[in-house]
Amino acid sequence: MVQDYQEYIEKVLLTEEQIQARVRELGAEISRDYAGSELLIICILRGGVMFTTDLVRQIDVPLAIEFMAVSSYGTGARQSEGEVRITLDLNTTVASKHILIVEDIIDSGHTLSSVIEMLKTRDPASLYVCTLLDKFERREVEVPIRYCGFKIRNEFVFGYGLDMDEFYRNLPFIGTVNLEKYETPLG
Ligand code: PRP
Protein backbone atom coordinates (compact mmCIF):
# COMPACT_ATOMS: atom_id res chain seq x y z
CA MET A 1 0.00 0.00 0.00
CA VAL A 2 1.16 3.49 -0.77
CA GLN A 3 1.91 5.54 2.31
CA ASP A 4 -0.91 7.85 3.35
CA TYR A 5 0.17 11.41 2.56
CA GLN A 6 -1.22 12.57 5.88
CA GLU A 7 1.72 10.82 7.53
CA TYR A 8 4.27 13.03 5.80
CA ILE A 9 2.55 16.25 4.82
CA GLU A 10 4.20 19.17 6.60
CA LYS A 11 1.67 21.83 5.66
CA VAL A 12 -0.79 22.84 3.00
CA LEU A 13 1.14 25.41 1.00
CA LEU A 14 -1.68 26.36 -1.37
CA THR A 15 -5.30 25.49 -0.74
CA GLU A 16 -7.72 24.44 -3.46
CA GLU A 17 -9.42 27.84 -3.13
CA GLN A 18 -6.14 29.75 -3.53
CA ILE A 19 -5.18 27.70 -6.56
CA GLN A 20 -8.55 28.03 -8.26
CA ALA A 21 -8.71 31.78 -7.58
CA ARG A 22 -5.28 32.26 -9.15
CA VAL A 23 -6.21 30.03 -12.09
CA ARG A 24 -9.23 32.25 -12.74
CA GLU A 25 -7.01 35.35 -12.67
CA LEU A 26 -4.50 33.81 -15.05
CA GLY A 27 -7.27 32.69 -17.39
CA ALA A 28 -8.67 36.23 -17.48
CA GLU A 29 -5.22 37.71 -18.12
CA ILE A 30 -4.48 35.25 -20.92
CA SER A 31 -7.92 35.87 -22.44
CA ARG A 32 -7.24 39.61 -22.50
CA ASP A 33 -3.75 39.23 -23.93
CA TYR A 34 -4.84 36.88 -26.72
CA ALA A 35 -8.16 38.53 -27.57
CA GLY A 36 -8.71 38.24 -31.31
CA SER A 37 -6.19 35.37 -31.68
CA GLU A 38 -6.26 31.61 -31.52
CA LEU A 39 -4.07 29.74 -29.07
CA LEU A 40 -2.30 26.43 -29.10
CA ILE A 41 -1.85 25.28 -25.51
CA ILE A 42 0.98 22.82 -25.03
CA CYS A 43 0.66 20.90 -21.79
CA ILE A 44 3.85 19.30 -20.52
CA LEU A 45 3.04 15.86 -19.15
CA ARG A 46 2.49 14.70 -16.63
CA GLY A 47 2.55 17.32 -13.91
CA GLY A 48 0.95 20.02 -16.04
CA VAL A 49 -2.29 18.13 -16.62
CA MET A 50 -4.37 19.34 -13.65
CA PHE A 51 -3.36 22.95 -14.11
CA THR A 52 -3.94 22.81 -17.87
CA THR A 53 -7.43 21.36 -17.63
CA ASP A 54 -8.50 23.97 -15.07
CA LEU A 55 -6.77 26.85 -16.85
CA VAL A 56 -8.22 26.22 -20.31
CA ARG A 57 -11.73 26.35 -18.85
CA GLN A 58 -10.97 29.93 -17.72
CA ILE A 59 -9.75 31.09 -21.13
CA ASP A 60 -12.29 32.44 -23.57
CA VAL A 61 -10.33 32.68 -26.82
CA PRO A 62 -10.49 29.77 -29.26
CA LEU A 63 -7.81 27.26 -28.34
CA ALA A 64 -6.48 23.82 -29.16
CA ILE A 65 -4.62 21.58 -26.71
CA GLU A 66 -1.59 19.44 -27.40
CA PHE A 67 0.55 17.33 -25.11
CA MET A 68 4.26 16.86 -24.91
CA ALA A 69 6.30 14.68 -22.57
CA VAL A 70 9.95 15.13 -21.76
CA SER A 71 12.24 13.40 -19.34
CA SER A 72 15.59 14.08 -17.81
CA TYR A 73 18.46 11.86 -18.70
CA GLY A 74 19.72 9.78 -15.81
CA THR A 75 17.88 8.60 -12.76
CA GLY A 76 17.94 11.61 -10.43
CA ALA A 77 14.44 11.35 -9.04
CA ARG A 78 14.24 14.68 -7.27
CA GLN A 79 16.97 16.66 -8.94
CA SER A 80 16.50 17.59 -12.56
CA GLU A 81 19.59 17.13 -14.63
CA GLY A 82 20.99 19.08 -17.48
CA GLU A 83 19.79 17.10 -20.49
CA VAL A 84 16.20 16.42 -21.47
CA ARG A 85 14.73 14.35 -24.27
CA ILE A 86 11.27 14.34 -25.81
CA THR A 87 9.38 11.13 -25.05
CA LEU A 88 6.10 12.27 -26.61
CA ASP A 89 6.06 14.84 -29.36
CA LEU A 90 3.20 17.01 -30.63
CA ASN A 91 0.64 15.72 -33.10
CA THR A 92 0.42 19.04 -34.88
CA THR A 93 2.62 21.70 -36.42
CA VAL A 94 3.36 24.86 -34.47
CA ALA A 95 4.45 27.00 -37.43
CA SER A 96 2.68 30.40 -37.42
CA LYS A 97 0.66 29.54 -34.31
CA HIS A 98 0.49 31.34 -30.97
CA ILE A 99 1.91 28.84 -28.51
CA LEU A 100 1.45 28.86 -24.76
CA ILE A 101 3.38 26.19 -22.88
CA VAL A 102 1.72 25.18 -19.62
CA GLU A 103 3.76 23.62 -16.81
CA ASP A 104 3.12 22.78 -13.19
CA ILE A 105 6.53 23.84 -11.90
CA ILE A 106 9.81 25.32 -13.06
CA ASP A 107 12.72 24.25 -10.94
CA SER A 108 16.23 24.27 -12.48
CA GLY A 109 14.72 25.49 -15.75
CA HIS A 110 16.41 22.80 -17.87
CA THR A 111 13.17 21.13 -18.99
CA LEU A 112 11.49 24.29 -20.22
CA SER A 113 14.65 25.74 -21.63
CA SER A 114 15.10 22.68 -23.86
CA VAL A 115 11.44 22.61 -24.88
CA ILE A 116 11.52 26.30 -25.79
CA GLU A 117 14.67 25.96 -27.87
CA MET A 118 13.21 22.99 -29.71
CA LEU A 119 9.85 24.64 -30.39
CA LYS A 120 11.49 27.86 -31.57
CA THR A 121 13.07 25.95 -34.43
CA ARG A 122 9.53 25.12 -35.65
CA ASP A 123 8.72 28.82 -36.27
CA PRO A 124 5.69 29.58 -34.09
CA ALA A 125 4.08 33.04 -34.41
CA SER A 126 4.71 33.49 -30.67
CA LEU A 127 5.87 31.33 -27.81
CA TYR A 128 5.24 32.00 -24.14
CA VAL A 129 5.26 30.08 -20.88
CA CYS A 130 2.63 29.78 -18.16
CA THR A 131 3.68 27.95 -15.00
CA LEU A 132 1.67 27.39 -11.88
CA LEU A 133 4.73 27.33 -9.62
CA ASP A 134 8.10 29.03 -9.91
CA LYS A 135 10.73 27.57 -7.59
CA PHE A 136 12.93 30.52 -8.43
CA GLU A 137 15.78 29.89 -5.99
CA ARG A 138 16.68 26.68 -7.80
CA ARG A 139 17.08 28.16 -11.26
CA GLU A 140 20.18 27.09 -13.19
CA VAL A 141 19.15 28.34 -16.63
CA GLU A 142 17.01 31.38 -17.33
CA VAL A 143 13.48 30.68 -18.57
CA PRO A 144 11.26 33.55 -19.69
CA ILE A 145 7.98 33.20 -17.76
CA ARG A 146 5.06 35.30 -18.97
CA TYR A 147 2.42 33.94 -16.59
CA CYS A 148 3.19 32.62 -13.12
CA GLY A 149 0.72 31.35 -10.55
CA PHE A 150 2.89 31.42 -7.44
CA LYS A 151 6.56 31.87 -6.61
CA ILE A 152 7.51 29.28 -4.01
CA ARG A 153 10.56 28.63 -1.83
CA ASN A 154 12.81 25.63 -2.20
CA GLU A 155 10.56 23.07 -0.53
CA PHE A 156 9.51 19.66 -1.81
CA VAL A 157 5.89 19.99 -2.92
CA PHE A 158 3.18 17.58 -4.03
CA GLY A 159 -0.44 17.56 -5.11
CA TYR A 160 -2.36 19.23 -7.96
CA GLY A 161 -0.29 17.53 -10.65
CA LEU A 162 2.91 17.15 -8.64
CA ASP A 163 3.59 13.59 -7.54
CA MET A 164 5.13 11.67 -4.70
CA ASP A 165 6.71 8.81 -6.64
CA GLU A 166 3.75 9.01 -9.06
CA PHE A 167 1.00 9.15 -6.41
CA TYR A 168 -1.18 12.00 -5.19
CA ARG A 169 -1.16 14.11 -8.36
CA ASN A 170 -4.95 14.18 -7.96
CA LEU A 171 -5.01 16.12 -4.69
CA PRO A 172 -6.79 19.46 -5.19
CA PHE A 173 -4.27 21.34 -3.02
CA ILE A 174 -0.46 21.59 -2.87
CA GLY A 175 1.37 20.44 0.23
CA THR A 176 4.96 20.37 1.41
CA VAL A 177 6.66 17.14 2.44
CA ASN A 178 8.48 16.24 5.60
CA LEU A 179 11.01 14.02 3.88
CA GLU A 180 12.07 12.43 7.16
CA LYS A 181 8.59 10.96 7.44
CA TYR A 182 8.33 9.86 3.84
CA GLU A 183 9.01 6.21 3.07
CA THR A 184 9.99 6.14 -0.58
CA PRO A 185 8.87 3.02 -2.46
CA LEU A 186 12.13 3.23 -4.41
CA GLY A 187 14.09 2.42 -1.23
C1 PRP B 1 8.76 18.28 -13.40
C2 PRP B 1 7.92 19.44 -13.87
C3 PRP B 1 8.75 20.04 -14.96
C4 PRP B 1 10.16 19.77 -14.51
C5 PRP B 1 10.73 21.01 -13.91
O6 PRP B 1 8.51 17.19 -14.23
O7 PRP B 1 6.65 19.04 -14.33
O8 PRP B 1 8.50 19.46 -16.21
O9 PRP B 1 10.11 18.73 -13.53
O10 PRP B 1 12.07 20.79 -13.52
P11 PRP B 1 13.28 21.63 -14.11
O12 PRP B 1 12.88 23.07 -14.19
O13 PRP B 1 14.36 21.41 -13.06
O14 PRP B 1 13.65 21.06 -15.43
P15 PRP B 1 9.00 15.72 -13.89
O16 PRP B 1 10.30 15.45 -14.58
O17 PRP B 1 8.97 15.51 -12.41
O18 PRP B 1 7.90 14.82 -14.61
P19 PRP B 1 6.33 14.71 -14.34
O20 PRP B 1 5.72 16.02 -14.73
O21 PRP B 1 5.90 13.59 -15.21
O22 PRP B 1 6.14 14.42 -12.87
pLDDT, tens only, 103-133: 999 999 999 999 999 999 999 999 999 999 9
Number of domains making up the chain: 1
Residue 75 has pLDDT above 70, yes or no: no
In a domain, 169, yes or no: no
Q: Of 156, 158, 155, 177, give the one whose Cα is nearest residue 167.
A: 158
Expressed in angstroms and rounded, the spacing between residue 122 Cα and the centre of ligand 1 is: 23
Tell whether the model's pLDDT for residue 102 goes beyond 70.
yes
Q: What pTM was computed for the model? A: 0.94
Residues 6+ apart with CB under 8 A from 106: 112, 129, 131, 133, 134, 135, 139, 143, 145
State how far the Cα of 133 lies from the Cα of 155, in Å rounded to an integer.
Answer: 12
Q: What is the pLDDT of residues 125-142, one digit of tens each?
A: 999 999 999 999 999 999
For the cut 80, the answer to whether the pLDDT of residue 80 exceeds it is no
Q: Is 165 domain-assigned?
A: no
pLDDT in tens, 165-186: 999 999 999 999 999 999 988 6
pLDDT category of residue 72 using cuts at 50, 70 and 90: confident
Nearest-atom index, ligand 1, CA of 166: 22
> Above 60 in pLDDT, residue 3?
yes
Q: Is the pLDDT of residue 7 over 60?
A: yes
Q: Does the pLDDT value for residue 17 go beyond 70? A: yes
- The CATH number of the domain where 109 resides is what? 3.40.50.2020
Question: From the CA of 162, how far away is ligand 1's center (Å)?
Answer: 9
Give the pLDDT confidence of 81-93 residue by residue, as tens digits. Answer: 557 889 999 999 9
State the Cα–Cα distance between residues 74 and 32, nearest whole angstrom: 41
**pLDDT over 60 at 76, yes or no:** no
Residue 10: inside a domain, yes or no? no
Determine how many CB atoms are found less than 10 A away from the CB of residue 172: 13
Q: Is residue 67 part of a domain?
A: yes
At residue 73, the pLDDT reads: 66
Does some domain include residue 9?
A: no
Residues with CB under 6 A from ligand 1: 44-47, 72, 80, 103-112, 163
Q: Where are the alpha helices (DSSP H) in the chain?
A: 16-33, 49-56, 110-120
**What is the rounded average pLDDT of the residues 13-38?**
98
Res 74: pLDDT: 53
Question: Would the CA dihedral through 173, 176, 181, 187 be positive or negative?
Answer: positive
Q: Does 177 map to a domain?
A: no
Candidate list 54, 104, 107, 134, residue with the active-site label = 107
Contacts of 126 (CB under 8 A, 6+ apart): 98, 99
Query: CA distances (Å), 19 to each of 58, 67, 173, 174, in order?
Result: 13, 22, 7, 9
Q: Give the model's pLDDT for residue 33.
A: 98
What is d(CA 118, CA 135) in angstroms, rounded to the nearest whole number? 23
| 179 located within any domain | no
Residue 138: which domain range? 16-157
Q: Is 107 a catalytic residue?
A: yes
Give the ligand 1 atom nearest the CA of 162. Answer: 22
- Residue 181: HSE in the Cβ half-sphere, 13 Å Cα cutoff: 12
Predicted pLDDT at 28: 98
Which atom of ligand 1 is nearest the CA belonging to 138?
A: 13
Distance of CA 59 to the CA centre of its chain: 17
